[in-house]
């Protein structure tokens, strides 16, 4: 993958503001850990960013539709979210470009609000910890099912053994890689595996294997059986639609890594960054729409929080799909974990000593993640809460606040005052609405209150 990229031969300024920038390059939060490397190509960044989004979040989207939202409405919401999230992701890149900062907290320092930066770093630490826990849940679920399908019994087929084996054999070596360009190949493989999962879901929908009378219908328990009666209305919206919005917010979360993606981009410029952002979010949207659609069309209101749990362990293609998804999640885990490690070191005031604490912090964070995944195994609920709280903050509210503060400091150098303020207030309003309404409905749903 090295050397491939969009606009690879073009020469562009590293900043849209060039010599007019009020800031010098930030070296304290250098996301390359001070290593001498050429940067990550546009194509490599595209796959890394897409892989950061395309992961376990895609598996809970069909369940997010539930009984309150029809598929056409869900598709429309997904497309709108893609546009909104890609815009706010690009906004973080613009703030980093304008301030010369390499972290969100660094941006806050540059615009004069260091305490806000500490709060952002703390919440991103919690967000990435929950996301990594979700990845662990999927790995434990899928790999244990695979082992059982291969005949493993006793402790060798348990969720706990499967999770521990994947962490030790795969995740620790990958999480110890410093240069993100070296993860581009694994990201490409991961995205390919997820496209394979979608192909499997499409095949099983069209061949009717899980419809009444189908080949695998009789092998399912009651919670797995398709529930498509009465047929859903074409356009339906209800209170539980908020749960879908929260799941989508989790699925599109990559904003905590936006500064790193921007500053490690080879021959970086906002034009190049925007091209990569648009392509990555488009690819992620195709995957999300296909997974949500085929999952819901096959199982309807009984779609599980991890849609692969609906498929029979007797289905050999389902075992292949779980294997592919496990590979994809395993390869996506290090990218999210990088955000957790960086934000943790920021909160602890150890950013300047990242190289010295790199190995210790990696192992020290992986242990509690595995323990947490052994106690919280409801993927759908985890994703909904993550999206309603941390997704709202990281992908909407924080970009809005940073946009406003940078505009307040730089004025026309950053954006037109009127347009910039409108954008900032719009993102903040949407984020606040999702935070308050989404969290309320998720809490009521988990409490068993009828919505």
Q: What is the pLDDT of residues 324-347, one digit of tens each?
A: 988 888 888 887 888 888 888 888
How much of the chain exceeds pLDDT 70, in percent?
Answer: 84
* In the predicted structure, residue 29 carries a pLDDT above the cut 80: no
Nearest residue to 321 (alpha-carbon basis) of 332, 304, 333, 309? 309
Q: Which of 16-20, 364-368, 401-405 has the lowest mean pLDDT?
A: 16-20
Phi-psi region of 30 (alpha: psi -120 to 50; beta: other; left: phi over 0): beta
Cα→Cα distances 291→53, 271, 321, Å: 14, 31, 12
* pLDDT of 202: 96
The segment with the largest mean pLDDT, out of 17-26, 112-121, 216-225, 289-298, is 289-298
* pLDDT of 300: 87
Pair 395, 432: CB distance under 8 Å: no
Tokens standing for 286? 């195709």
What is the radius of gyration, based on Cα positions, of the chain? 22
Q: What is the pLDDT of residues 120-179, one digit of tens each?
A: 888 888 888 888 888 888 888 888 888 887 888 888 888 889 999 999 998 999 888 877
Q: Rounded to whole angstroms, how far apart are CA atoms 44 and 267?
A: 13
Q: What is the pLDDT of residues 46-83, one digit of tens each?
A: 888 888 888 777 888 888 887 678 889 999 999 998 99
* pLDDT of 80: 92
What are the b/e assignments for 12-24, b being 16+ CB within 10 Å? eebbbbeeebebe
* In the predicted structure, residue 22 carries a pLDDT above the cut 50: no
Q: Rounded to whole angstroms, how far apart are CA atoms 140 and 438?
A: 28
State the average pLDDT for the chain.
Answer: 81
DSSP-based three-state secondary structure for 40: strand
Q: Regarding predicted confidence, which is higher, 23 or 359?
A: 359
Say which CATH topology domain 40-446 has.
Amino acid/polyamine transporter I (1.20.1740)
Pair 260, 32: CB distance under 8 Å: no
Tokens standing for 116? 């806000």
Q: Which of 13-17, 140-144, 249-253, 385-389 has the lowest mean pLDDT?
A: 13-17
* In the predicted structure, residue 406 carries a pLDDT above the cut 60: yes
* pLDDT of 375: 78
DSSP tag of 395: I
Tell me how crowded residue 208 is: count the other CB atoms within 10 A of its CB. Answer: 14
The segment with the largest mean pLDDT, out of 63-72, 113-122, 195-204, is 195-204
Nearest residue to 320 (alpha-carbon basis) of 157, 196, 170, 436? 196
DSSP tag of 234: S
What pTM value is reported for the model? 0.77
Tokens standing for 176? 């110890």
Residue 451's pLDDT band (cuts 50, 70, 90): low
Q: Rounded to whole angstroms, how far apart are CA atoms 299 and 294?
A: 9
Residue 19's pLDDT band (cuts 50, 70, 90): very low
Nearest residue to 256 (alpha-carbon basis) of 435, 442, 396, 409? 396
How is the chain split among helix, strand and coil, in percent rounded to 5?
A: 70, 0, 25
Nearest residue to 14 (alpha-carbon basis) of 275, 278, 277, 264? 264
Pair 364, 340: CB distance under 8 Å: no
Nearest residue to 197 (alpha-carbon basis) of 303, 323, 312? 323
């Amino acid at each position: 993958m090295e050397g491939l990229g969009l606009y690879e031969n073009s020469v562009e300024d590293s900043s849209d503001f060039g010599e007019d920038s009020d800031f010098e390059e930030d070296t304290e939060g250098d996301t390359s850990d001070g290593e001498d490397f050429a940067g990550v190509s546009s194509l490599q960044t595209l796959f890394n960013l897409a892989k950061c989004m395309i992961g376990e979040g895609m598996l809970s989207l069909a369940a997010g539709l539930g009984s309150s939202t029809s598929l056409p409405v869900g598709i429309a919401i997904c497309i709108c979210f893609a546009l909104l999230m890609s815009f706010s992701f690009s906004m973080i890149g613009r703030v980093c470009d304008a301030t010369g900062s390499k972290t969100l907290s660094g941006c806050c320092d540059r615009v004069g609000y260091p305490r806000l930066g500490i709060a952002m770093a703390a919440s991103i630490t919690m967000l990435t910890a929950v996301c990594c826990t979700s990845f662990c849940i999927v790995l434990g679920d899928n790999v244990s099912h695979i082992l059982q399908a291969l005949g493993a019994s006793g402790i060798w087929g348990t969720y706990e053994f499967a999770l521990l084996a994947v962490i030790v054999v795969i995740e620790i070596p990958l999480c110890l890689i410093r240069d993100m360009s070296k993860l581009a190949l694994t990201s490409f493989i991961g995205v390919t595996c997820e496209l394979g999962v979608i192909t499997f879901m499409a095949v099983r929908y069209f061949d009717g294997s899980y419809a009444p009378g189908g080949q695998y219908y009789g092998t399912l328990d009651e919670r797995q059986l398709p529930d498509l009666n009465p047929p859903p209305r074409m356009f339906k919206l209800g209170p539980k639609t908020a749960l879908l919005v929260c799941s989508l917010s989790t699925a599109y979360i990559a904003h905590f890594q936006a500064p790193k993606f921007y500053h490690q981009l080879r021959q970086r410029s906002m034009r190049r960054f925007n091209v990569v952002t648009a392509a990555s979010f488009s690819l992620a949207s195709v995957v999300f729409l296909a997974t949500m659609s085929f999952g819901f069309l096959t199982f309807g209101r009984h779609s599980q929080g991890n849609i692969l749990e609906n498929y029979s362990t007797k289905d050999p293609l389902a075992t292949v799909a779980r294997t592919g998804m496990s590979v994809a999640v395993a390869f996506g885990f290090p990218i999210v974990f990088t955000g957790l490690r960086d934000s943790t070191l920021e909160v602890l005031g150890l950013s300047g000593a990242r190289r010295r604490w790199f190995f210790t912090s990696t192992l020290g964070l992986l242990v509690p993640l595995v323990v947490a995944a052994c106690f919280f195994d409801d993927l759908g609920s985890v994703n909904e809460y993550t999206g309603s709280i941390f997704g709202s903050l990281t992908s909407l509210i924080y970009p809005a606040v940073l946009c406003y503060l940078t505009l307040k400091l730089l004025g026309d150098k950053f954006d037109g005052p009127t347009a910039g303020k409108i954008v900032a207030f719009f993102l903040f309003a949407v984020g606040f609405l999702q935070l308050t309404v989404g969290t309320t409905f998720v809490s009521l749903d988990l409490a068993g209150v009828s919505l």
